[in-house]
């Protein structure tokens, strides 16, 4: 029998364990120092960074330090039919880490060891609580890099796996699923599964690694991650390129990607977004007043190479190409402003939040459809009396809109139209933020019902009682 979505989440309303029993048994299993409840819980465990999610403290937070700890918690939750929400750094943008009131939050912040850096096989093996910053610092001294960079260095590898995080470097390196070679994870019934490993290809049955990546904690709790690492390029150039028309930007993308040098970063930033981001970090880019008045949007490009001659040749070739595509100017930024601009782009979400954005839309479409999508988005903004500002990983078709509309009904209508338009143009609702709780209603209304039903059957196979992050995705 196929279990419907409401049945998967019924445990949130019929939890059988009392709070005292649950806390007592968790304390016996883990030790009292690893269990917090009531006033001992920080409000940080009630939310992630989703702008529309309502914070909710769980029944209890546990701080696991090993796979054995995770197994113990999961088995008890399975026995008592208590929901579990896994939590990394809480930097997600879709409400995926917001727990139910009756839930146990499993925090991985103390399960944060780099287990191995294998320079022969070019992999790193880490626990899920390891942050991107910690891994980057450990790799830097060895001349290596883990290339996925979603823009928040405090984000954890486990959280990145859960949401299939992407970011600005995806145009060259892809997203998290392209860089994860193996996982260890715990099922809802307590079994430990290892999938993948220190190898780059396998045809041994279903790819469970890829199935768990992006499942947002609804299929399993990840306890170990094996990722690819690469030699760290020594030289880079940062380019800021203003254009008069968005069509010229989108028209230049195929030419740039066919030019022979794949950019590390290839971003679209509208003029308002660039102004706000620059103000955030106190950056004066030296753009002439005439160009600043004429430009409607910019390309932000970073090239990287292992030797300076190759970088210089690539920069020259790309600059000529950009002018032929209609660029008003090509600014080659010195090291300090370049670093500031990267910092500004990484701060785009925080800038939007500080300016009062009410929601963030994360849509991916074919690159060729970007001009049409942006034009239609402006029309949607006008008819819904909503202010919409855009940035995006234009190299891979991922567009981010900051939505400024305090009226929930008008905002929901605008977001629904933006997502529906993205699907109609051959895209998808989320490129890298995930669905969580906040995009769930859009997925259920806009996605193919047969596909959703298959996802429910997969969920049922992994999590028969529906205790893993109920209320998310499906």
List the chain domain ranges: 8-110, 114-231, 235-349, 356-438
Token output for 329: 């100017």
Looking at residue 68, what is its pLDDT? Answer: 98
Looking at residue 14, what is its pLDDT? Answer: 41
Token output for 180: 């994860």
Q: What confidence tens digit (pLDDT) does each residue in 184-197 have?
A: 999 999 999 999 99
CATH of 114-231 given 3.30.465.10, 1.10.260.30, 1.10.510.10, 1.10.1660.10: 3.30.465.10
Looking at residue 283, what is its pLDDT? Answer: 86
Give the Cβ contact number of residue 461 at 10 Å: 10
Mean pLDDT along residues 218-233: 98
Is the pLDDT score of 5 beyond 50? no
Classify 235-349 by CATH class: alpha beta
Looking at residue 278, what is its pLDDT? Answer: 86
Q: What confidence tens digit (pLDDT) does each residue in 93-137 have?
A: 999 999 999 999 999 999 999 999 999 999 999 999 999 999 999
Looking at residue 213, what is its pLDDT? Answer: 98
Is the pLDDT score of 4 beyond 70? no
CATH of 8-110 given 2.40.50.140, 3.30.43.10, 3.30.420.40, 3.10.580.10: 3.30.43.10
Q: What confidence tens digit (pLDDT) does each residue in 324-377 have?
A: 999 999 999 999 999 989 888 888 888 899 999 999 999 999 988 988 998 899
Domains 8-110 and 235-349 share a fold: no
Confidence of residue 408 (pLDDT cuts 50, 70, 90): very high
Q: What confidence tens digit (pLDDT) does each residue in 48-62 have?
A: 999 999 999 999 999
Looking at residue 327, what is its pLDDT? Answer: 97
Q: What is the 3-state secondary structure (H, E, C) of the chain?
A: CCCCHHHHCHHHHCCCCCHHHHHHHHHHHHCHHHEEEHHHCCHHHHCCCCCCCCCCCCCEEEECCCHHHHHHHHHHHHHHCCCEEEECCCCCCCCCCCCCCCCEEEECCCCCCEEEEECCCCEEEECCCCEHHHHHHHHHCCCEECCCCCCCCCCEHHHHHHHCCCCCCHHHHCCHHHHEEEEEEECCCCCEEEEECCCCCCCCCCCHHHHHCCCCCCCCEEEEEEEECEECCCEEEEEEEEECCHHHHHHHHHHHHCCCCCCCEEEEEEHHHHHHHHHHHCCCCCCCHHHHHHCCEEEEEEEEECCHHHHHHHHHHHHHHHHHCCECCCEEECHHHHHHHHHHHHCHHHHHHHCCCCEEEEEECCHHHHHHHHHHHHHHHHHCCCEEEEEEEHHHCEEEEEEECCCHHHHHHHHHHHHHHHHHCCCECCCCCCCCCCCHHHHHHHCCHHHHHHHHHHHHHHCCCCCECCCCCC
Q: Check: CATH 3.20.20.140 for 356-438?
A: no
Q: What confidence tens digit (pLDDT) does each residue in 238-284 have?
A: 999 999 998 898 889 989 999 888 999 999 999 988 988 888 888 88
Q: Rounded to two decimals, what is the model's pTM? A: 0.93
What average pLDDT is seen over the chain? 93
Q: What confidence tens digit (pLDDT) does each residue in 149-183 have?
A: 998 899 999 999 999 999 999 999 999 999 999 99
Are 214 and 434 in contact by the 8 Å Cβ rule? The answer is yes
Looking at residue 17, what is its pLDDT? Answer: 59
Is the pLDDT score of 221 beyond 80? yes
Residue 352 dihedral angles phi and psi, to the nearest 5°? -60, -40
């Amino acid at each position: 029998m196929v279990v419907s979505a409401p049945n998967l989440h019924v445990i949130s309303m019929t939890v059988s364990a009392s709070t005292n029993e649950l806390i007592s048994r968790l304390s016996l299993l883990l030790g009292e120092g690893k269990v917090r409840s009531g006033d001992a819980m920080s409000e940080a465990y009630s939310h992630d960074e989703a702008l529309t999610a309502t914070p909710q403290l769980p029944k209890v937070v546990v701080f696991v330090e090993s796979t054995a700890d995770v197994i113990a918690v999961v088995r008890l939750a399975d026995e008592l039919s208590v929901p579990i929400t896994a939590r990394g750094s809480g930097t997600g943008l879709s409400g995926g880490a917001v727990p139910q009131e009756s839930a146990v939050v499993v925090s991985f912040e103390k399960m944060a060891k780099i287990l191995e850096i294998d320079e022969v096989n070019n992999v790193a093996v880490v626990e899920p609580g390891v942050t991107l910053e910690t891994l980057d610092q450990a790799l830097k001294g060895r001349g290596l890099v883990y290339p996925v960079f979603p823009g928040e260095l405090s984000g954890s590898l486990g959280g990145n796996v859960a949401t299939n995080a992407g970011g600005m470097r995806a145009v060259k390196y892809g997203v998290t699923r392209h860089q994860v070679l193996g996982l260890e994870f715990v099922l809802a019934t307590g079994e430990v599964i290892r999938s993948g490993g220190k190898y780059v290809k396998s045809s041994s049955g279903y790819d469970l690694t890829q199935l768990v990546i992006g499942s947002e904690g609804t299929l399993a709790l990840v306890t170990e991650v094996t990722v690819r690492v690469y030699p760290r390029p020594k030289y880079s150039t940062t380019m800021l390129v203003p254009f008069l028309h968005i069509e010229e930007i989108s028209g230049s993308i195929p030419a740039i990607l066919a030019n022979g040098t794949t950019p590390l970063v290839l971003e679209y930033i509208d003029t308002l977004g660039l102004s706000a981001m620059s103000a955030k970090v106190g950056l004066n880019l030296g753009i002439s007043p005439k160009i600043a008045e004429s430009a409607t949007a910019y390309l932000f490009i970073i090239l990287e190479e292992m030797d300076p001659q190759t970088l210089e040749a690539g920069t020259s070739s790309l600059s000529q190409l950009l002018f032929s595509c209609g660029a008003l100017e090509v600014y080659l930024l010195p090291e300090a402003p370049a670093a500031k601009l990267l910092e500004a782009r990484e701060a785009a979400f925080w800038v939007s939040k500080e300016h009062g954005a009410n929601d963030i839309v994360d849509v991916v479409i074919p690159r060729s459809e970007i001009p049409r999508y942006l034009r239609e988005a402006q029309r949607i903004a006008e008819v819904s009396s909503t202010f919409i500002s855009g940035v995006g990983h234009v190299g891979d078709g991922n567009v981010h809109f900051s939505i400024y509309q305090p009226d929930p009904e008008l905002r929901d209508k605008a977001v629904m139209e933006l997502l529906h338009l993205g699907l109609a143009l051959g895209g998808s609702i989320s490129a890298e933020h995930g669905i969580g709780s906040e995009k769930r209603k859009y997925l259920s209304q806009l996605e193919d019902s047969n596909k959703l039903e298959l996802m429910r059957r997969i969920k049922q196979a992994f999590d028969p009682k529906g205790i893993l992050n109920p209320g998310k995705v499906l």
